[in-house]
């Protein structure tokens, strides 16, 4: 499981011209699922994400977590995080999980965020989405489990 975190002052997802989710200060989480992933990987990454100290304190140092700042999360399923570009010019996505495995894990991941007290918006699984972010910093972190 891979997660690309972007610290944002705001973010939103639109599908077919309609906003499906929007957040203020927090994290946009692009989440990729691999065939062998399960609830254990999701729980590990959610715990890491909500406690990761990547928000600035009063002295401007990255010392606060998503929980500390009362931030939100915008979760977007992103199978392209498993793109294999080693050969040729067209990425292969064979390392990404099939939708029947990925969809329930994305929902489980979102549920874990909400259970931890993080207001969580979501993209629409499998849809062509427009993701808008106001990257803060910019701070972008790659996590893998």
pLDDT at position 89 is 94
Q: Is the alpha carbon torsion for 65, 68, 69, 72 positive or negative?
A: positive
Each residue's pLDDT expressed in tens, for the chain with a length of 145 residues? 999 999 999 999 999 999 999 999 999 999 999 999 999 999 999 999 999 999 999 999 999 999 999 999 999 999 999 999 999 999 999 999 999 999 999 999 999 999 999 999 999 999 999 999 999 999 999 999 9
Number of helical H runs and strand E runs in the chain: 3, 8
pLDDT at position 70 is 98
pLDDT at position 33 is 98
- Closest by Cα among 109, 113, 86 to 37: 109
pLDDT at position 24 is 98
Does residue 79 carry a catalytic annotation?
A: yes
- Among 6, 41, 55, 79, the active-site one is 79
Instruction: Give the C-alpha separation, 144 to 31, whole Å.
Output: 10
Q: How far is CA 56 from CA 22, 40, 86, 100, 144, in A?
A: 22, 29, 37, 38, 23
pLDDT at position 18 is 97
pTM for the model stands at 0.96
Q: Domains in the chain and their CATH numbers?
A: 2-144 (3.50.80.10)
- Among 78, 109, 120, 122, the active-site one is 78
pLDDT at position 121 is 98
pLDDT at position 44 is 98
pLDDT at position 113 is 98
Instruction: Give the C-alpha separation, 21 to 82, whole Å.
Output: 24
Stated as kind and residue range, the H or E segment containing 43 is helix 39-51
pLDDT at position 127 is 96
Does residue 78 carry a catalytic annotation?
A: yes
pLDDT at position 97 is 98
């Amino acid at each position: 499981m891979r997660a690309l975190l972007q610290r944002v002052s705001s973010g939103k997802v639109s599908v077919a011209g309609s906003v499906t989710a929007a957040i203020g200060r927090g994290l946009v989480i692009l989440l990729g699922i691999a065939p062998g992933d399960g609830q254990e990987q999701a729980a590990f990454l959610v715990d890491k994400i909500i406690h990761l100290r990547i928000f600035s304190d009063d002295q401007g140092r990255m010392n606060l977590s998503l929980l500390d700042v009362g931030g939100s999360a915008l979760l977007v399923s992103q199978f392209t995080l498993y793109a294999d570009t080693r050969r040729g010019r067209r990425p292969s996505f064979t390392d990404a999980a099939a939708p029947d495995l990925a969809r329930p894990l994305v929902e489980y991941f979102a549920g874990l965020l909400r259970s931890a007290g993080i207001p969580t918006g979501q993209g629409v699984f499998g849809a062509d989405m427009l993701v808008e972010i106001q990257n803060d910093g910019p701070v972008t972190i790659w996590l893998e489990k």
